[in-house]
Chain A
Amino acid sequence: MFIDIFHFTHKLFGYFKMSIEDYHPEAFINLLNKKKLFLWNLMPINAHLFTFRCSLFSAYKVVSEAKSAGVKLTIEKGIGLPFVINKYRKRTGLMVGTLISMLIIMLSNLFIWDVQIVDGDMTPELYAALKRVGCYSGRYIMDYNVTDAKMQFLLENDEYSFFAININGTIAMVELKKRVLPDIEEYDYSYCHIVASDDAQIIDITAQRGDPVVKVGDVVEKGQILVNGETMDKHNVIHPVRSIATVNAKMNKLIEIKIPLKQPEKVYTGNELTKTRIVVFGQQINLFFAEFPDYELCDVESSFDRIKLFNMIRLPIDSFAEKFTEFRIEEKVLNEAEATLIAEKSFDNDIKIYVNDGQLISKTYTTKINTAENCLVLYGDITFIKNIAVVEPFDYVPIPDETTSIPQD
C-alpha cells in the first residue's frame, strides 16, 4: 500500500528520469544527498553512467548542482500528470471535456445517489416517508441535517422507535427499528355472567369463578346463563364477581350453499402495455404521453427497478413501470362436477369459520341441481364441539341492610 501511494504521488506531481555521466558519479550522488535532494531508483548503467529519478520540485536544484560541479547531466524524460497535461494542452476539446467530467464527478459527490435500508426492504410507504424527511436520491448532502430529519421522521411515524441515517459517500444507509409495545392485557373488573353463545348440549364445564347453573348433558339456548356472577355464601349474602369459565358444548349446524351454474370468467385479450417513468435525482420523467391506456378492463402490475451501469455501478436513476394487461368478462357455464368442487371448497371454508378453535365431530352433505334458479345447492350438516362461553356484564345494586341505620342530619 505504501509503495502504491508513493508511486501514485510521484505520478500525480510528476518526476524526471535523469542520467549523469562522470568519472566518479558516486561523488555527485553524495553531493546531492548532502544537499537533501531526494532521489530514487538509482541504477548504474556502467561505472561512469548512472540513471536516477527526482521530483519536479527538486529537478531545478539538481540541474544547477550538476552545472556547478561540471557533471554531464541529461534529462531523459518527464513522467506524470503535469507532462500529460502539457502534452495535450493544445487540444482544447479534450482538456475542456476532461475538466467538465471532473467537475461532474466532483458535483455528483455532493448528492445522495442511493438510499438503502439496513436489514430490510424499501416499501412504497417507507419511500414516501423518507422523501418527506428529505432522504431521497438527488438530495443535496451539504445542507442536509440528519438530526432534524431523524426527529421529524420519528414524530411523523409512530410505528418506528429508532431511525438513523448514515451517509457513506453518496449512499444513505437508513437504519430502522419497529416499535414493539409490551403485551399487557388490561384486566376488566366489571361483574359479569357467562352465557351461551349458541344453542348446544353441554359436554363439560369448568368454572374458575362464579356459580355454574347448568350441568353436563343439559341442553342450553343461546343467551342462557351458564355461570352466575352473583355468588351466594353460606350466610345467603350475595357477592358479585366477574365469572370466568370454559364451557365446551356439542352443537349442530345446517349449511346451505348455492353455486350459480353461470359464472363470470376473466379472459385475457393478449393486449399489454407498459408505461415507464424514471426518477433522476428525485425528478420524475414520464416516458409516455397518456397516463392510462384505452382498455375498458385491465390488470395493473407495478414494478420498481434500480438502474445499474454494467449491472454493477448503481446510478441515481429509479425506474417505475406499470404493466397493463387487458381482459374481458365472459360467462362460463359450469358442469355439475365443477360446481360441486366449488361448493365443497366453500363448505370447507364455512366449517372452518363455524368450528374455529373447536373440534369437528362429523360432517355430511348432499348436492342437488336447482333448475329453477339454475344453480347447484349443497346441503351440509356438521356436528362439532366448541367453547360457547361468552361474558355478559351486569350492574350490581347492593340491597341495603335493614339493621343498619344511617344518621340523618
Chain B
Amino acid sequence: MFNTKIIKSRAYVELRGNNEALIEGCDLLKSYTEDEILLSLDNVDLKIKGRKLLMEALTDDRIAITGFIISLEYVY
C-alpha cells in the first residue's frame, strides 16, 4: 500500500475483477446512488458506474466499493 500522505499528488485505484474497487486518496464523496458514485480525488473526479453499488467500508481517505462495476471514468 502506498502512503497517500507522502505521495499526495496521486490517488491509488485498485480494481479486482468487475465487482470490487478500492480507492485511496479520496477527498470527498460528491454523490452516491445505487448506479453511480462520484468521488473527488486530488485534482480530478472519479465516476464509478455500475449496479447495486455498495460502500463496504469508509475510512479517512479510503473507500471500498462492491457491486457490479460497469465503468470507471475520470471527469476533468
* Contacts from A to B (Cβ < 8 Å): 26, 29-30, 33, 36, 38-44, 47, 50
- 28 A-B pairs with C-beta separation under 8 A: A26-B29, A26-B30, A26-B32, A29-B29, A29-B58, A30-B28, A30-B29, A33-B29, A33-B58, A33-B60, A36-B60, A38-B57, A38-B58, A39-B57, A39-B58, A40-B55, A40-B56, A40-B57, A41-B54, A41-B55, A41-B56, A42-B32, A42-B54, A43-B54, A44-B33, A44-B34, A47-B33, A50-B32
Complex interface: chain A residues within 8 A of B29 (CB): 26, 29-30, 33
What's the minimum C-beta distance from A48 to chain B, rounded to whole angstroms? 11
B3 near A: Cβ within 8 Å? no
3 shortest A-B CB distances, which residue pairs? A42-B55, A39-B58, A40-B57
Instruction: Name the distance in Å between B38's Cβ and chain A's nearest Cβ.
Output: 9
Q: Mark B46-65, 1 if CB is under 8 A from A, else 0.
A: 00000000111111100000
Q: Which residue of B lies closest to A24 (CB)?
A: B31
* Count of A-B contacts judged by CB separation below 8 Å: 39
- Shortest CB–CB separation between residue A38 and chain B, in angstroms? 6
Task: For the complex formed, measure the closest distance between the CB of A80 and the CB atoms of chain B, giving whole angstroms.
Answer: 17
Closest A residue to B61 using CB positions: A33
Contacts of A44 in B (CB 8 A): 32-34
How many Å lie between the Cα of A36 and that of B60 in the bound state?
A: 5
| Chain B residue contacts of A29, Cβ below 8 A | 29, 32, 58
Interface of B is mostly: strand
Q: Which residues of B contact A43 (CB under 8 A)?
A: 54-55
CB distance from B55 to the nearest CB of A (A): 4
CA distance A139 to B31 in the complex (A): 63
In the bound complex, residues from chain A placing their C-beta under 8 Å from that of B30 are 26
- A29-B32, A40-B56 given. 5 additional CB < 8 A pairs? A26-B29, A30-B29, A33-B59, A42-B55, A47-B33
Closest B residue, CB atoms, query A47: B33
Distance in angstroms between the alpha carbons of A78 and B13 in the assembled complex? 33
A29 to B63, CA, bound (A): 12
Evaluate contact between A38 and B59: CB separation under 8 angstroms. yes
CA–CA, A26 to B38, complex, Å? 10
> Could you tell me the distance in whole angstroms from the C-beta of B7 to the nearest C-beta in chain A?
20
Q: Which of B15-72 contact A (CB under 8 A)?
A: 28-34, 54-60
Q: Are B54 and A26 in contact (CB under 8 A)?
A: no
**B contact residues around A50 at 8 Å (CB):** 32
Distance from B57 Cβ to chain A, minimum over Cβ atoms (Å): 5
Measured in the bound complex, the distance between the Cα atoms of B56 and A38 in whole Å is 11
- Bound form: Cα–Cα A50–B60 in Å: 19
Q: Which residues of A contact B54 (CB under 8 A)?
A: 41-43
- Measured CB to CB, the closest approach of chain B to A103, in angstroms, equals 36
Residues of B within 8 A of A30 (CB): 28-29
Task: Tell me the bound Cα distance from A47 to B32 in angstroms.
Answer: 8
Interchain nearest-CB distance for A194 vs B (Å) = 88
Interface centre among A33, A38, A40, A43 (most CB of B within 10 A): A33
Q: Bound complex: CA of A44 vs CA of B33, how far in Å?
A: 6
* B57: A residues at CB distance < 8 A: 38-40
CB distance from A61 to the nearest CB of B (A): 15
Chain B nearest CB from A309 CB (Å) reads 39
B68 to chain A, nearest CB (A): 15
